[in-house]
Structure 1
Amino acid sequence: MEQEHILVVDDEEGLLQLVKMRLQAMGFAVTACTTGRDAVSAAKVNRFDLAITDLRLGGEDGLDVTEELLRIHPGLPVIILTAHGSIPNAVEAVQRGAFGYLTKPFDDKELKAKIEEGLSPQRMSREIQRLKSLVNELYGMENVVARSPAMQRLLQQVVQVADSDATMLLFGETGTGKEVFARVTHANSRRSKGPFVALNCAAIPETLFESELFGHVKGAFTSAHGPKKGLFQSAHGGTLFLDEIGEMPLSMQVKLLRAVQEREVREVGAEHATKVDVRIIAATNKDLDEAVKNGTFRNDLYYRISVVPLFIPPLRDRREDIPIMAQQFLALSAKRANKDMRGFTPAALHRLVTNLWPGNVRELENAIEKAVVMARQDMVTPDLLPSTGSAPDAQLKPLTEAKEEFEKTYLKNVLQLTGGNISRAAQFAGRYRADFYKMLKKYGLHPSMTKGKAAPEVEELEEESDLTEAER
């Protein structure tokens, strides 16, 4: 959080420095001025959260200074310092717009209480704005639609882990909204007031990766004409989102591993490392298990970044969400195109729900935007929509079949994410180990699909599954 900035004005140098030191000890940034003229000049070039001024400033009137400060910054809380004999003047100052006054001498407790009182309305206003932003980011229809069980489970998991500092790895196909969920996690964490810094690892040339992530000092290389702050430093106090981390060059992976482990970075050309306070969220659409086997991704880095793995389902596995999302995208696109659109015909909605959508949410949004632009009436018809791998007259699957298909896909993904570890997979799915293993047997799945051989706990569970309820 950015420091609150206080302006202090007093012609008595000793008292001025004393108040300045007290305020700095309380955690405030302080600008100290010995004349009203200097204070007014400072107010013209700086934004202050609160001002403290003596009522008598040598040849200047503290009331005039207060009025000038309020003219420059309407609503600025101004606290007047006054002696007992001039309290009536301080009351007049309050009547002319000052927030309140303190009589000399005053102690730290009185000073802090009055400042907290003066800053309270601003803080409340900022918090309300933050909460509005947070609610919009978490629940805004343009970002997260979660009618389907798969998405509801995902949001529950996000809520569970958001307020921790655990490193997260988001799995999901292109266009599923991995960055949206990274932002949702950040917005619902204790770091929400800090920065959210995103990097697409596939978009950075290998030669620039280190400088981009960690920064460099002046003269570190030929074109380093000045120092540059890296993304780790820019994300200090907040969240660093590393998208498409599977595309990161091997040469950078070992350096990233150290940064993740030690929470410190060394700028290119620097002699010493710098500590950083950063929460890392990574994302990939690649099979990192396979990348580890192929030697294109470091095994130790994989374990470091996948402390909390979350799988974002593709659109074809969350069809219940499509009608809501489609209507929302329709409203946004119609507004941009300045068109009055009422909705989708039944046939158009059927096509939306039955399409495969290989590009997921991003493809859905683009398809609807194109349909709105091309529409000649106020309803979207099926001829305006693509058919991605599904016939226009395709029928929805029966509920039981669709549910079984989803469960099987979900179990496969959980096994993949946990490396075939049944205990971890069961915990991830919110099931008892024995119940989870029964589900695997139902669909003919086995942890060896990801681990290469049966683990001892599988044999134990097979024995457990043969027991009757009474024997357990």
Structure 2
Amino acid sequence: MTIRTRILLVDDDIHLVHSLGDWLTDRGYCVEVATDLGGARQQLAEQEFDVLITDLRIADEDGFDLIRSTAKHHPSVAVLVMTGYAGPHTAVEAVRAGAFDLLTKPISDEELLLAIDRAISHQHVEQANETLRKQLDRRRGLESILSHDYRMMKVFDVIDSVADTQASILITGENGTGKSMIARAIHHRSSRRGGPFVEVACGALPDTLLESELFGHVAGAYTGAATDRMGKFEMADRGTLFLDEIGTATPAMQVKLLRVLQEFQFEPLGGMETRQSDTRVILATNQDLESSVASGSFRQDLYYRINVINIALPPLRERPGDIPLLIEHFIREAGQTASRDVEGFDREALAVLQTYRWPGNIRQLENVVERAVLLSSDRVLGVHDLPPELLGADNRPGREMDGQRTASAIQPPAYNLSANHAVASRWNNASLPTSGRSLREALEFPEREIILQSLRRHAWNRAATADELEINRTTLYKKMKRLGLDDPRLQYAL
């Protein structure tokens, strides 16, 4: 109990409310009083309170209205109800309306003080849980996706814009680009984050089993269906359903999906009862659905239904600047798992990793790094620790690849993990993504890398960064904004 614990007393008995208020003030609480609902609502709007103590009958007004409005508009305030007219169901109704506890008059001093302490303790637990939930959401949200590529920054902006919408989202990209992580980030940044996130790999199931998986089935729907089973659409009610590999759905399944995405109604396999689901649907594919629509293998109306918002993830070979960042993260994770102390890759190995085409994208890079950490006994990993497919003639530094010169011209510095996990790589000719870009876009890439590395060296201190780069702070701020470096998520990318 501290003087900062603020209590609002509401009762139409003026003598009682002031007497009780004085008594609680003597015990160290800060107390305000109101004798009607209007005065109570006004004080709640103008001041912050920890506990609201109210009667259920206040003149001709209903105390339940105050309880409900407080729970809705001031959820951090614990509500205690004092009444002399408690019926058998009054306590249940009060709790459903949002009250923490109901006390029946006459109330002893000890009973009231205990109820206040319990209410305050409960609010502290709720606040701690909310803080923990936000921390977990943050770890599972965009902050867990490592990138400083400007195209991924645009993807992050789209996610922030659409996370709370009901519209279907189609995520496209090659295998291993992180479509599932993006779907989870959307879910955890939305108002549905308290609901379930249910994932279904459509390409892993035959048509009949996929229908049962999505919509459920009734007993006897097919051989072996001994009992009713709930489908994923029902499991994801008030949450998010992620349908991966949607391009593999058969024409018959596409018809069923079109209906449920339009009406959110469906019948379980073998059943006649129509069911409803409040589900946000995110879909993903590694196929070119426009070509599938043109060839007739994918329904045009379904394509337009699911492609309300399209998020296209660039492949890793088009994000060479992210490779050192991802390597550091994967080394740290693999080293912790295997209890190994690994510093990083040497210059030649890093050059190979940055010039390889990565058909398996981020998932393949993670496997390559984990393999190197587990099999090597050295603290600094070299070319000999890389798998053979990365060491083919076309993938070694100094070879021509897609009309671009690779890393023999300018060798990158050694890749090293320092105590503060700074990324010790610099831009090089091998990693400049110039193909198909204007001169301005090509020149922005090394400029962005230089500024980003300086910001990280100085723990995002912009004054120190501007001094090191020998530019004034106003110029630095303008460059950061133009190059997409003013996004606060970048500070947590390592």
TM-score strictly above 0.5: yes
| Structure 2 SS opposite 1:128 | helix
Kindly indicate whether residue 130 of structure 2 is the aligned counterpart of residue 127 of structure 1: yes
- Hey, what does 2:398 align to over in structure 1? 393
Q: Deviations over 1:298-349 (max 9, x none)?
A: 1111110010011100000011000010011011111122211011111111
Distance 2:111 2:190 in 1: 43
- Map 1:33-432; keep pairs closer than 5 Å: 52=101, 81-84=103-106, 86-91=107-112, 94=114, 98-99=115-116, 119-140=122-143, 143-386=144-387, 387=390, 389-394=394-399, 395-396=406-407, 398=429, 402-405=433-436
Query: How well do the aligned residues superpose, as a CA RMSD in angstroms?
Result: 3.0
TM-score by length of 2: 0.62
Matched to 1:131, the amino acid is K
Distance 1:120 1:170, change over 3 A: same
Deviations 1:62-120 (A, max 9, x none): xxxxxxxxxxxxxxxxx6x2433x523415x72xxx5459xxxxxxxxxxxxx7x6753
Which SS does the other structure have where 2:158 is aligned?
A: helix
| 1:221 positional shift | 3.1
Give the drift of 1:209.
Answer: 1.4
Cα distance, 1:336–1:400 mapped onto 2, change above 3 Å? closer
Q: Which residue of 2 aligns with 1:18?
A: 90
8 Å Cα contact 2:242/2:281 also seen in 1? yes
The answer to whether the 8 A contact 2:237-2:279 is kept is: yes
Structure 1 outlier segments of 4+, above 6 Å: none
Greater shift, 331-340 or 380-389, is seen at: 380-389
Query: Does structure 1 retain, via aligned residues, the 8 Å contact 2:142–2:185?
Result: no
- Tell me, in whole angstroms, the C-alpha distance in 1 between the residues paired with 2:397 and 2:359: 16
Aligned residues: 331
The 1:124/1:201 distance shift into structure 2, 3 A limit, reads: same
Question: How far apart are the structure 2 equivalents of 1:14 and 1:160?
Answer: 48
What is the deviation of 1:220?
Answer: 2.9
User: Counterpart of 1:253 in structure 2: which amino acid?
Assistant: Q
Alpha-carbon offset, residue 163 of structure 1 = 1.9
Verify the 8 A CA contact 1:151 1:318 in the aligned structure 2.
no
Identity across the alignment (%):
35
CA-CA distance at 1:295 after TM superposition: 2.0
SS for the counterpart of 1:15 is coil
Q: Is the 8 A contact 1:167 1:306 kept in 2?
A: yes
Name the SS of the counterpart of 2:342 in structure 1: coil
Structure 1: runs of 5 or more not aligned = 5-11, 29-49, 53-78, 102-114, 411-472
Deviation at 1:385, TM superposition (A): 1.8
**Distance in 1 (alpha carbons) for counterparts of 2:227 and 2:173:** 39
1:127 Cα deviation from its structure 2 partner: 1.6
Q: 1:398 to 1:137 in 2, by over 3 A?
A: same
1:283 alignment partner, SS class: strand
Is the 1:82–1:90 contact (alpha carbons within 8 Å) kept by the matching residues of 2?
Answer: no
Q: Secondary structure at 1:224's aligned position in 2?
A: coil
In the alignment, the residues of structure 1 paired with residue 176 and residue 270 of structure 2 have an alpha-carbon distance, to the nearest angstrom, of: 38
Amino acid at match of 2:156: L
Q: SS where residue 157 of structure 1 aligns?
A: helix
Q: TM-score, normalised by structure 1?
A: 0.64
- 1:213 positional shift: 0.3
Deviation of the 1:406 alpha carbon: 5.6
Give the secondary structure class of the aligned counterpart of 2:198: strand
Change (3 A) 1:21 1:195: same
Work out the CA distance in 1 between the residues paired with 2:324 and 2:357: 14
Is the 1:257–1:304 Cα contact (8 Å) retained in structure 2? yes
For structure 2, the residue ranges without an aligned partner over 5 or more in a row are 1-74, 76-83, 400-405, 408-427, 442-494
Give the distance between the partners of 2:207 and 2:270, measured in 1 at CA: 17
Helix, strand or coil at the partner of 1:199:
strand
CA distance in 1, matches of 2:342, 2:434: 33
